Chains A and B, each alone.
Chain A
Amino acid sequence: MGVEIAAVMSFLGLTSAFAVVAAVLGTWMAWRILEKAGYPGWLSLVVALLTLSGVAWIVALVLLWVFAFMRWPRDQPSGGMAVAGTSPGAIIGPAPRSIGAPSRALPDRRGWRLVGMLPSGTGIALAIAETTASWVVTGAATTKPGELSVPDPSVGQPHARLLSAGGRLGLEALGDGETFIDGARLLPEHGARDISAARLIRFGKVELGLSRA
């Protein structure tokens, strides 16, 4: 009989130990995930307490769904950022910022080309000459020099800014629509990024291949 009791106690002890370790690990990882999404990490403690209270695990489950589908602070344009208006022809923020003095200019001073296909099936090719330091990518028709039109509803008006300096090319998201560099999301708060070595740029649903002209 003693052996059976010891076995049951060992089993209960192991499961309890697993539960404690899992709870601590889960809370710690939830803390990190919340911080990555832009929320304060201590919210995970609240969720953990709710879950540990037994009946409130359903609340934690509901919070998981809410977290998955709500807007994260990470995706919000930062307040201090110059986010341009969304209407065609809107004034585009303050003076363009430079790429930030590349550590080493590239000897190749050819221009750049963005080539791809619109979702409608129409081909598109954009030429970016270094003679102009700043280009604005917009989903609207071009109305002035320094604008590059990508006529698709998924492209913001304006959508992004391209910066050319020292043989390098930079890209800055302006907050209206999604921007990706080789599959990595670029947010307005990331500022301008050197894309000289990038291959694929996506504005909204339009994917363009980047190459030298």
Chain B
Amino acid sequence: MTWVIAWLLGLGTLAILGLLVVHLVVALVLIIPTWRICTRAGFSGALSFFHLVPLIGWLVVMAILAFSPWPNGEASSSGPGV
């Protein structure tokens, strides 16, 4: 019985590790273009690290880009507030 539990724990750990690796890979694939978009908009590229937050990270980055005025100017506005 003990070895069954040990097997289950081992498999569980492996599954969690696998999920973590997949999450990091997906986050990296999202972080690179988001870094570029953030810097072009005038924000710090480090904002893209929100993609590391599971589930809601991408919503946070998008919300900042969508609802904050872009320091480098927007097509729909008259530009930086100088």
Which residue of chain B has the shortest Cβ distance to A62 in the bound complex? Answer: B33
- Say yes or no: B75 contacts A29, CB within 8 Å: no
Contact of B66 among A33, A190, A194 (CB under 8 A): A33
- Say yes or no: B82 contacts A67, CB within 8 Å: no
Which residue of chain A has the shortest Cβ distance to B76 in the bound complex? Answer: A35
- Say yes or no: B59 contacts A22, CB within 8 Å: yes
- Say yes or no: B78 contacts A190, CB within 8 Å: yes
Chain B, interface residues (CB within 8 Å), range: 20 to 34
Which residue of chain A has the shortest Cβ distance to B80 in the bound complex? Answer: A184
A182 with B75: in contact, given A29-B62, A36-B70 (CB under 8 Å)? no
The distance in angstroms between the C-alpha atoms of A37 and B79, with both chains bound, is: 12
Neighbouring B residues of A182 by C-beta, 8 Å:
82
- Say yes or no: A190 contacts B79, CB within 8 Å: yes
- Say yes or no: A72 contacts B62, CB within 8 Å: no
Chain A, interface residues (CB within 8 Å), range: 35 or more
- B18 at the A interface (CB under 8 A): no
Which residue of chain A has the shortest Cβ distance to B38 in the bound complex? Answer: A68
- B41 at the A interface (CB under 8 A): yes
Contact of A198 among B58, B74, B82 (CB under 8 A): B82
Interface, chain B (partner A; CB < 8 A) = 29-30, 32-34, 36-37, 40-42, 55, 58-59, 62-63, 65-67, 70-76, 78-82
